[in-house]
Amino acid sequence: MDRITPESRRHTLRQASEDARYSKEVVPTPQTADPAYRLAFQDLDFLLREDLRPVRLQLELLKPELLLAEAGIVSTFVFYGSARIPSAAQAEALVAAATEPARRKVAERLAAKAHFYEEARRLAYLASCAPCRGDGGRDFVVCSGGGPSIMEAANRGAADAGAPSIGLNVVLPHEQKPNDWVTPHLSFQFHYFAIRKMHFLMRAKAVAVFPGGFGTLDELFELLTLIQTKKMAPVPILLFGRDYWSRIVNFAALAEEGVIDPVDLSLFTMVETAEEAWALVCARAQAG
């Protein structure tokens, strides 16, 4: 079957893009100047109305889906993790800038995690070296939240391999911008956290979870719940840093208390290095 392309889907009716262009050439009158006369899809005030939330949700789901499909991205390797862990080059400066004892202690803890930046970068590089399919489709395309720290390391590792990578940014009250290593035409911005989280997992073939805070924990537990409840097919879930995860979450206690089944503890694997993680992903892929 021939692949369906935008060109092969042409209809006999005039394209919306043409009418959008013509609408700008209309003769000004009191009627044409009123917002009511604007084409609905060009009327930003209308699209931002509370009543239009279902439409905006649909658009946020559809836009990245179409562009990722057009880019030939079949599956992704998702990277979750903190936006605060420094690279090795930044660690010393982070500690030096913390003058108060309490802040210095926190800075030292973050600096001690700098090796995770390098492991994320290395793992992303290994995944990005995976060969393309015979039809040109790409597997294990690195996908991060598009921001700094662990997210930056993931996109940077893909760039090291000369491969494309995805960044899924979200609008936040404080300034946020895509890191410099996200592939520009695969850099997306979201208003709705829920739709962003769907895009993280819709193509996920493996997920690496590095030390992180509320956002990372939220993403991890949603992923575990989706697989536990069979809403999502199992994928390798790799938790980097046994010491961190064993201290932050007592997974065994959940099973001992009976609130999860002991078999649920097998949904994830704790690892320390990129090579260890990639070997597990490859073994799972070969096992089918």
d(CA 206, CA 141): 10
Burial of 248 (0-12, 13-18, 19+ CB in 10 A): middle
pLDDT tens digits, residue range 54-109?
999 999 999 999 999 999 999 999 999 999 999 999 998 999 999 899 999 999 99
pLDDT tens digits, residue range 21-52?
877 888 899 988 899 989 899 999 999 999 99
Domain boundaries, the chain: 59-287
> 124 pLDDT band (50/70/90 cuts)?
very high
Find out whether 161 and 125 touch, Cβ atoms under 8 Å: yes
Taking domain 59-287, whether its CATH number is 3.40.50.450 is answered by yes
> 5 pLDDT band (50/70/90 cuts)?
low
Lowest mean pLDDT among 109-123, 157-171, 173-187, 247-261: 173-187
Distance set, CA 78 to CA 5, 112, 200, 207 (Å): 27, 24, 7, 5
Q: In this predicted structure, what is the pLDDT of residue 1? A: 42
Return the number of other C-beta atoms located less than 10 Å from residue 56's C-beta. 15
**Stated pTM of the model:** 0.91
